[in-house]
């Protein structure tokens, strides 16, 4: 005679199978990729859209020069004078590592626009897309 499976026994097997399956699945990421390149891609897109394509008066005299393909492991964006893009950058924003560490420096950081740059870059690096 064959043993009968009770409802409790079947539920126990189903629950155990579900637990084993959940342990084997990979966790899904909860936020944006935090690598240096991904972080700087987000920052470059935000800066381009919010500072330059929007014709923001604070950035009207400048041009964005992204340098995301970096062999040094530090992708960056530069803000340069519109008329002389070969001149020394007025702003450098770069990231390094995973999770990325951001750094921003240059004369624009000491200008009245400096606090706004920090706020915007931090927001974009975290995955936000809004302009200030």
Strand order in the sheet with 62-67: 62-67, 76-81, 91-96, 101-105
pLDDT in tens, 99-111: 999 999 999 999 9
Instruction: Quote the CA–CA distance of 73 and 86 in Å, as a whole number.
Output: 22
Residues 8 and 123: their CA atoms lie apart, in Å, by 51
CA–CA separation, 83 and 56 (whole Å): 17
Domain ranges of the chain: 36-125
pLDDT band at 55 (very low <50, low <70, confident <90, very high): very high
Stretch 9-20: mean pLDDT, rounded? 40
Q: Which helix (H) or strand (E) holds 67?
A: strand 62-67
| Contact by Cβ (8 Å): 44, 66 | yes
- Per-residue pLDDT, averaged over 88-97, amounts to 97
Share of the chain above pLDDT 70, in %: 77
Per residue in 31-42, pLDDT (tens digit) is 678 999 999 999
Locate 63 and state its tokens. 């041009």
The pTM assigned to this predicted structure is 0.75
Long-range contacts, stretch 30-34, CB < 8 angstroms, 24+ apart: 31/126, 31/127, 32/126, 32/127, 34/98, 34/99, 34/100
Average pLDDT over residues 1-22: 41
| Residue of higher predicted confidence among 17 and 44 | 44
């Amino acid at each position: 005679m064959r043993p009968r499976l009770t409802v409790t026994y079947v539920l126990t097997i189903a629950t155990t199978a579900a637990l084993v399956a959940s342990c084997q699945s990979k966790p899904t990421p909860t936020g944006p990729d935090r690598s240096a390149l991904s972080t700087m891609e987000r920052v470059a897109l935000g800066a381009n859209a919010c500072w330059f394509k929007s014709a923001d008066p604070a950035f009207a005299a400048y041009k964005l020069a992204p340098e995301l393909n970096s062999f040094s492991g530090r992708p960056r964006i530069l803000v340069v004078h519109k008329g002389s893009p070969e001149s020394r950058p007025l702003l450098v924003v770069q990231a390094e590592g995973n999770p990325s560490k951001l750094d921003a420096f240059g004369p624009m950081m000491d200008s009245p626009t400096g606090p706004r740059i920090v706020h915007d870059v931090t927001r974009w690096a975290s995955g936000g897309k809004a302009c200030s």
